């Protein structure tokens, strides 16, 4: 099987915050929902053309439980586009990009939107 060429067409970065700063009340999906339309616009891609969204979150929470799809819907992008979330501490965004690469290279998707987002304001604390 011949692999398809995979190209990154646009990027955007969420802002960094600090504890008890102005961004403390933002959750991951808030941050991601703000940049998704920007990435699509910069890339010249319509949300209707996206096959899947894949996002990494190193500290998943139940707010929301599926960042990959929830942020897409929160950005008011097409509801028919499925999405999922991967979790890998210190590597979740890279894993999401790898998953998108494999989906496109294998011919299963034409266009994917992938990346990562975290907001430790809503992350659960683990105490022994």
Q: Is 34 exposed, middle or buried (0-12, 13-18, 19+ CB in 10 A)?
A: middle
Residue where the block lists tokens 């809503």: 122
- Who wins on pLDDT, 56 or 51? 51
DSSP designation for 58: S
Contact 61, 73 (CB under 8 A): no
DSSP designation for 111: -
Q: What is the pTM of this model?
A: 0.83
Contact 72, 53 (CB under 8 A): yes
Residue where the block lists tokens 């616009």: 41
For the record, the structure tokens of 55 come out as 């996002």
Residue 67 confidence (pLDDT): 83
Give 74's pLDDT tier (boundaries 50, 70, 90): very high
- The string of pLDDT tens digits covering residues 9-30 is 888 877 777 777 787 777 888 8
Contact 86, 55 (CB under 8 A): yes
Percent of the chain with pLDDT over 90: 41
Residue 62 confidence (pLDDT): 66
């Amino acid at each position: 099987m011949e692999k398809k060429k995979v190209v990154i067409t646009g990027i955007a970065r969420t802002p960094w915050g600090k504890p008890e700063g102005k961004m403390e009340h933002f959750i991951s999906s808030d941050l991601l929902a703000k940049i998704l339309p920007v990435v699509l616009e910069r890339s010249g891609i319509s949300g209707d053309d996206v096959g899947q969204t894949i996002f990494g979150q190193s500290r998943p929470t139940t707010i929301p439980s599926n960042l990959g799809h929830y942020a897409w819907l929160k950005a008011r992008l097409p509801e028919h586009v499925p999405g999922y979330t991967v979790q890998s501490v210190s590597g979740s965004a890279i894993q999401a990009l790898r998953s998108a690469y494999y989906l496109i290279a294998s011919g299963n998707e034409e266009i994917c939107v992938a990346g990562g987002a975290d907001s430790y304001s809503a992350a659960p604390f683990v105490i022994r």
